[in-house]
Amino acid sequence: MVDEKVNIQNATEFEPSLLRMLDRGIDDVEAGRTLTHEDAMKEVRRLREKRREERVLKGDVVNA
């Protein structure tokens, strides 16, 4: 049964860059190039700590 009240947008109405990002994301999932949420958060924490340490070495830290 088709709901006549549903408005499906034509793909040309979307920003082309958004569609490319979604396609790349789907490709990554299909190819197994994804991380678990836990692993992703570990990487975020690692990168934040590295950035914090670099700022400390430069003397740019207010709240280390």
Residue pLDDT, tens place only, 25-35: 999 999 999 99
The vertex-57 CA angle with 63 and 55, nearest 5°, equals 45
- Residue 63: the pLDDT is 59
- Residue 13: the pLDDT is 64
In 10 A of CB 52, how many CB atoms? 14
As given in the structure block, the two tokens for residue 44 are 């975020």
Which residues, 6+ apart, have CB-to-CB distance to 56 below 8 Å? 64
pLDDT in tens, 6-55: 565 665 566 788 889 999 999 999 999 999 999 999 999 999 999 999 99
